[in-house]
């Protein structure tokens, strides 16, 4: 097996979102998400923790993960400035950087909790205490500031910290694994911008030593009484390259394998790549929600067993986990060029990720349920609605950095090839090594519309490879009006030519509404169907029914109808009218009864994209719907 590499643009501004859900969410991130998370980072004391002036007995004690929240918001600020220069925001960015750098110790170490609160416990409990995780996010913020803004101060600071880690961990030095993985992929980012091989070697060490014997966390348990007994939950049940299933904390697992994919690419490690592929297949085929959400249990925020995919109450599907899956898929797509990774990437992006943040840009879900009912207790910190902040606020701060950088998922390049993954409305400009320039304008309204156009804006000699999604049963591609492909999706179609200004590629991706059924091993979905159109998953809210969604039963023999969105939701999206019946709501008693089924009346329901639910106020909701016997249209 050979390892391919389709390098994604280093400058995320080679693509600019111009319309549709990604552009809308990105604008709300610049207008609301970043200012809101900045304000909360300051209000809660996370930023001021870098002053290192906390004293016992005072409020706002720096938590072990606070540094990561500040770093993610700072990364989002850098991305926002690269998209929309703002002198006031840049001055605040520089102030944050100055404060963070001032907290660095003389040996290079940088962590607010273990400098101000427990300096004697530095690196004594890696399983629990997030030191390396916080360092990873600070590194990512530093790399973003350098690559997007050309600012070196934080980069040089984090290089000193990384140098300290390289001298502390590794063969012949201290042994250790991060309890919460993330530093692996961060070190690989730092390696790419500095070309310092020690950073690659440390990332290799953290990946390759993890899960080997003697078990490091078992040794921690002997001295600390914490950490050793949870091998599966922290991805140490086996060496990473021997793992074949997604285990434990879902966010940590995906960060680990994203970093492992980076290491595999840099070192041409085929065995490690195969482990990444095996874990991906396990996620895709047995442990992923239809929305691209991952993690079946809120207890431990973790994967559990194959086909354990409950829809509400105890489920997890954290917003950060969907984001982490996007990171992993992007790396695997760029490593192999296989279209299946783009399918999962867009499923997670358009559904599992975007559902986690409201259209206003300043309210967030931690857990993303597929069913919300007032008879179910929601473990989303006690709330079935989005909130402005959480004590553990990894999700809001992750959105602050993710949304301003979504354009990096649109395409990848390799030599004289441009691979278009997501044909959303955008302007793309990339200069190849031979001087040719790909300058393209993509329009059409994807993912809500399948009729798309790619207009060439500048002459150039290169190959444009357009993705024909795996969900698409029939795709037609025309080049300057001539059909060049008519067939099934699930592949990339390469179009090599000397492109001329005015050339036009037209995509017609068949996008019917489909009822999706689930493997019967998922008992929660027995007798139920979900609704999809293209890559978009739909749900039904009770507000769009004359009753409760739990009483609605969809008739799959009646073809659904694509229709306009209800008021107060984006009009460029598409709603789906469903036909079925509504059960009569019984009285509270008796709890159980015999005899006939509950009486039903014909009913229509409006399904909306799952990513847009809970934007019109509190409501019950379901993705997986019970089915009904056929109901004639005349009865409707």
Q: Is the pLDDT of residue 516 over 50?
A: yes
Among candidate residues 414, 407, 422, 380, the one with its CA nearest the CA of residue 295: 380
Among candidate residues 292, 280, 429, 269, the one with its CA nearest the CA of residue 352: 292
Joined tokens for residue 166? 């390289």
What are the domain boundaries of the chain? Answer: 11-42+240-409, 44-229, 412-509, 514-635
- SS3 per-residue string spanning 129-188: CCHHHHHHHHHHHHHHHHHHHCCCHHHHHHHHHHHHHHHHECCCCECCCCCCCCHHHHHH
Residues forming the active site: 301, 394
Among the ranges given (224-238, 532-546, 558-572), the one the predictor scored with the smallest mean pLDDT:
224-238
Q: Which residue has the higher pLDDT, 385 or 221?
A: 385
CATH class for the domain made up of 412-509:
mainly beta
Taken in order 326, 331, 332, 336, the sign of the CA dihedral is: positive
Q: Which residue has the tokens 């399948």?
A: 450
Instruction: Give 535-564 pLDDT, tens digit per residue.
Output: 999 999 999 999 999 999 999 999 999 999
Task: Find the length of the chain.
Answer: 636
Across the chain, mean pLDDT equals 93
Q: What pTM was computed for the model?
A: 0.96
Main-chain phi, psi angles of 79, to 5 degrees: -65, -40
**What pLDDT score does 4 carry?**
62
Joined tokens for residue 488? 């099934």
**377-391: b (≥16 Cβ within 10 Å) or e:** ebbbeeebebbebbe
**What pLDDT score does 404 carry?**
98
Among candidate residues 398, 388, 365, 390, the one with its CA nearest the CA of residue 69: 398
Mean pLDDT over 379-408 rounds to: 88
Q: Is the pLDDT of residue 490 over 50?
A: yes
Instruction: Give 2-22 pLDDT, tens digit per residue.
Output: 566 666 655 688 999 999 999
Confidence band for 383, pLDDT divided at 50, 70 and 90? low
Confidence band for 434, pLDDT divided at 50, 70 and 90? confident
Joined tokens for residue 518? 């689930």
Query: Which helix (DSSP H) or strand (DSSP E) does residue 463 occupy?
Result: strand 460-468
**What pLDDT score does 8 carry?**
65
Among the ranges given (207-216, 218-227, 242-251, 495-504), the one the predictor scored with the smallest mean pLDDT:
218-227
**Strand, coil or helix: 441:** strand
- Strands 625-627 and 552-554, by their bridges, are parallel
Mean pLDDT over 392-415 rounds to: 96
Q: What percent of the chain has pLDDT over 70?
A: 93
**What pLDDT score does 128 carry?**
87
Q: Which residue has the tokens 């530095």?
A: 122
Mean pLDDT over 153-163 rounds to: 98
Q: Is the pLDDT of residue 287 over 90?
A: yes
Q: Is the pLDDT of residue 211 over 80?
A: yes
Joined tokens for residue 4? 């391919």
Instruction: Give 584-608 pLDDT, tens digit per residue.
Output: 876 676 788 887 788 899 999 999 9
Among candidate residues 216, 211, 213, 237, the one with its CA nearest the CA of residue 226: 216
Residue 418 CB-density burial (10 A; 0-12 exposed, 13-18 middle, 19+ buried): buried
Main-chain phi, psi angles of 250, to 5 degrees: -65, -40
Half-sphere exposure of 599 (CA within 13 A, CB side): 5
**What pLDDT score does 414 carry?**
87
**What pLDDT score does 231 carry?**
65
Confidence band for 634, pLDDT divided at 50, 70 and 90? very low
Measure the CA angle with vertex 621, ends 616 and 624; round to 5°: 145
CB atoms closer than 10 angstroms to residue 200:
20
**What pLDDT score does 225 carry?**
57
**What pLDDT score does 636 carry?**
42
Mean pLDDT over 310-337 rounds to: 94
């Amino acid at each position: 097996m050979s390892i391919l590499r389709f390098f994604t643009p280093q400058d995320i501004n080679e693509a600019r979102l111009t319309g549709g859900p990604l552009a809308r969410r990105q604008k709300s991130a610049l207008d609301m998400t970043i200012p809101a998370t900045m304000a909360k980072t300051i209000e809660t004391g996370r930023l001021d923790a870098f002053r290192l002036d906390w004293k016992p007995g005072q409020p706002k004690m720096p938590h072990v993960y606070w540094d990561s929240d500040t770093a993610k918001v700072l990364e989002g600020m850098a991305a926002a400035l690269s998209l929309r220069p703002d002198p006031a925001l840049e001055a605040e960015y520089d102030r944050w950087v100055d404060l963070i750098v001032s907290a660095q110790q003389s040996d290079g170490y940088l962590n607010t909790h273990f400098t101000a609160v427990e300096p004697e416990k530095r690196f004594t409990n890696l399983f629990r205490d997030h030191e390396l995780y916080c360092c990873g996010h600070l590194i990512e913020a530093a790399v973003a500031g350098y690559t997007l803004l050309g600012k070196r101060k934080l980069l040089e600071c984090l290089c000193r910290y990384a140098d300290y880690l390289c001298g502390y961990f590794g063969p012949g030095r201290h042994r250790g694994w991060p309890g919460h993985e993330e530093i692996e992929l961060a070190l690989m980012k730092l390696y790419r911008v500095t070309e310092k091989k020690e950073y690659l070697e440390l990332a290799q060490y953290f990946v390759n030593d993890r899960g080997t014997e003697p078990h490091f966390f078992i040794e921690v348990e002997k001295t600390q009484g914490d950490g050793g007994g949870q091998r599966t939950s922290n991805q140490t049940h086996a060496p990473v390259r021997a793992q074949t299933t997604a285990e434990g904390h879902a966010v940590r697992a995906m960060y680990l394998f994203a970093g492992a994919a980076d290491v595999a690419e840099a070192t041409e490690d085929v065995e490690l790549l195969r482990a990444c592929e095996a874990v991906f297949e396990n996620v895709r085929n047995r442990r992923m929600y239809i929305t691209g959400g991952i993690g079946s249990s809120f207890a431990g925020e973790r994967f559990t067993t194959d086909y354990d995919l409950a829809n509400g109450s105890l489920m997890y599907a954290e917003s950060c986990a969907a984001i982490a899956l996007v990171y992993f898929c992007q790396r695997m797509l760029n490593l192999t060029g296989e279209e299946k990774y783009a399918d999962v990437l867009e499923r997670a992006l358009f559904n599992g990720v975007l559902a986690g943040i409201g259209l206003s840009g300043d309210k967030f879900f931690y857990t993303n349920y597929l069913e919300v009912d007032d008879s179910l207790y929601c473990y989303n910190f006690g709330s079935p609605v989005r909130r402005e902040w959480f004590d553990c606020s990894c999700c809001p701060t992750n959105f602050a950095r993710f949304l301003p950088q979504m354009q990096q998922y649109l395409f990848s390049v390799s030599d004289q090839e441009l691979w278009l993954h997501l044909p959303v409305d955008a302007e793309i400009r990339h200069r190849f090594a031979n001087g040719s320039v790909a300058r393209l304008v993509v329009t059409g309204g994807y993912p809500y519309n399948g009729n798309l156009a790619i207009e060439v804006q500048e002459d150039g000699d290169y190959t444009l490879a357009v993705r024909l999604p795996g969900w698409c049963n029939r795709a037609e591609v025309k080049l300057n009006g001539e059909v060049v492909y008519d067939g099934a999706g699930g592949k990339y179609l390469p179009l090599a030519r000397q492109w001329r200004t005015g050339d036009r590629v037209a995509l017609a991706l068949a996008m019917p509404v489909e009822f999706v059924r689930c493997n019967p091993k998922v008992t929660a979905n027995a007798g139920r169907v979900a609704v999809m159109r293209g890559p978009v998953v739909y749900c039904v809210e009770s507000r769009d029914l004359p009753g409760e969604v739990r009483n609605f039963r969809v008739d799959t023999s009646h073809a659904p109808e694509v229709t306009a969105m209800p008021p107060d939701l984006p009009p460029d999206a598409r709603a789906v009218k469903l036909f079925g019946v509504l059960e009569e709501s019984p009285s509270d008693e008796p709890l159980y009864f015999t005899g006939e089924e509950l009486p039903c009346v014909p009913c229509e329901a409006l399904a909306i994209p799952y990513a847009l639910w809970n934007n019109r106020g509190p409501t019950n909701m379901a993705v997986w719907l019970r089915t009904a016997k056929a109901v004639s249209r005349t009865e409707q």
